[in-house]
Structure 1
Amino acid sequence: MTTTVARDTHVAARATDVWKVYGTGEAQVVALRGVTAEFERGRFTAIMGPSGSGKSTLMHCLAGLDSVSRGQVAIGETVVTGLGDAGLTKLRRDKVGFIFQQFNLLPTLSAKENILLPLSIAGRKPDQAWFETVIATVGLGDRLSHRPSQLSGGQQQRVACARALVARPEVIFADEPTGNLDSRSGAEVLAFLQRSVREYGQTIVMVTHDAVAASYADRVVFLADGAIVSEIFEPTPETVLDTMKRLDVLTGEAEA
């Protein structure tokens, strides 16, 4: 059963006092420490932090891919925390889109079939006008019949982006979406993501270690040692790098 709660309609995803602990005793690792954050609708937010800071763990908990040890996560008005397998499956199918570093395309399907796969699984027909808009936006009109092996890495990731967007989810989570791409292909994918937010009102939460990638976002949230320690708005590569350098110094001092 899906739990709903009255929430601010401007918030697409929310974490409230979220803790994530792996293991017990001496092997215990605290990945998230009381994280509270809101991610607005129609905004592009990047999550950054040093290696091991908890950024991917936070995204996985927000998306319902991992459970929280304490606290609460919500997507829109749906409380994710405590959902059973059926509820989580429905949430991920109907409300959430995913873009991963590994493109996760099915090799036996064409680009078009890969894009429409989530809708097919859900038994939904695509909105043809929206499908055509998405295809035009990612520039794949002449590649729809091609299989992944016939596409470049950048084209494959654009297929993955179109697949995430075509179902019009409440929020798209992107985990290092340009990690396997050259700089030109990466810029094309990031420009598409940025355009989907600014022109079509999509909500994107992206984990990245790349300051240039983060500069495409409207807001950057920084984690260190499992906690949110800073954020900046309208980022540039320079402001992101400056913040990361400060975090590296602070992290190094704490370890020392």
Structure 2
Amino acid sequence: MTTTQAPANDGATRAGAVAARASGLTKIYGEGETRVVALDGVSVEFRRSEYTAIMGPSGSGKSTLMHCMAGLDTISGGSATIADVELSKLKDKKLTQLRRDKIGFVFQAFNLVPTLTALENITLTLDIAGRKPDKAWLDQIIDTVGLSGRLSHRPGQLSGGQQQRVACARALASRPEIIFADEPTGNLDSRSGAEILGFLRRCAREFEQTVVMVTHDATAASYADRVLFLADGKIVDELADPTADSVLERMKRFDGKGRTS
């Protein structure tokens, strides 16, 4: 992959600013005996140019937090904001527009349209919105993910790693406020996974994007600037400048039911 410089922008003022914020965020499913508190008063900030990994045992609330912050699930209490816009105050149409314009998504399943070429998949969100892509920005993304020679290929003609690169490029095409990645390397071999994780790190460091990734993998988490640990729907720990070993050491504090030991 070729190293390139990010296009000129207002990075001096954008870097370090808060891209997304949760304040007393609560999510409750069910009622009575079936009532489950998935998130219990979570408050956290995700800053511009920061790559955050979210970890925790199964059922700890990590995916629920991402889904609520991304506007994919409603919240029960507190607030979630993207670019200073409170998601709970938006009607469906405005929420859809915000997700389209301000948020990029990368999931474990690549979610590509099989009948479209790689380039058409990358620009799909912009095409739906009736917006023309910034050619210089698009060319830079394509060069960075190493897809220049594969743009006319359909997903079925691409390897798993190449398909996830297309998904990453699509997430970045509109230059969103924040990128949410849910187990983005779960379907990839170790080499392809490392390439995707390295690309997400470059998104934060070179392109000043905010990246929030849910993962269960300590090695994947080590690519981030910080790791948040959830248990019982609460943030119980945070680790800056993580290594795979330091993440594993912190994870030992949790038992199999998501409680801290």
TM-score range, shorter chain: over 0.9
How is 1:41-56 mapped onto 2 (pairs within 5 angstroms)?
Answer: 41-56=48-63
Give unpaired runs (5+ residues) of structure 1: 1-7
CA pair 26-81 structure 1, distance change in 2 beyond 3 A = same
- SS of residue paired to 1:66: coil
Per the alignment, residue 128 of structure 1 pairs with 135
Q: Please, what TM-score do these two structures have when normalized by structure 2?
A: 0.92
Per the alignment, residue 90 of structure 2 pairs with 83
1:240 aligned residue (211, 230, 247): 247
Q: For residue 145 of structure 1, report the CA deviation from its aligned partner.
A: 0.3
Residues 65-112 of structure 1, C-alpha deviations (whole Å, 9 max, x = no match): 001101000001111123110111111011001000000000000000
Per the alignment, residue 95 of structure 1 pairs with 102
- AA aligned opposite 2:175: R
- AA aligned opposite 1:114: N
- AA aligned opposite 1:160: A
How many residues align? The count is: 247
Distance 2:37 2:146 in 1: 42
- AA aligned opposite 2:255: D
Residues 39-59 of structure 1, C-alpha deviations (whole Å, 9 max, x = no match): 111110010000000000000
Give unpaired runs (5+ residues) of structure 2: 1-14
2:41 aligned residue (14, 34, 46): 34
Distance 1:106 1:122 in 2: 17
Per the alignment, residue 3 of structure 1 pairs with none
How is 1:130-209 mapped onto 2 (pairs within 5 angstroms)?
Answer: 130-209=137-216
Q: Please, what TM-score do these two structures have when normalized by structure 1?
A: 0.94
Query: Would you say the 8 A contact 1:9–1:76 is kept in 2?
Result: no
- The share of aligned pairs that are identical, in percent, is 66
Distance 2:121 2:204 in 1: 22
- SS of residue paired to 1:197: helix
Q: For residue 248 of structure 1, report the CA deviation from its aligned partner.
A: 2.6
2:23 aligned residue (10, 16, 19): 16
CA pair 253-244 structure 1, distance change in 2 beyond 3 A = closer
Distance 1:150 1:45 in 2: 32
- SS of residue paired to 1:200: coil
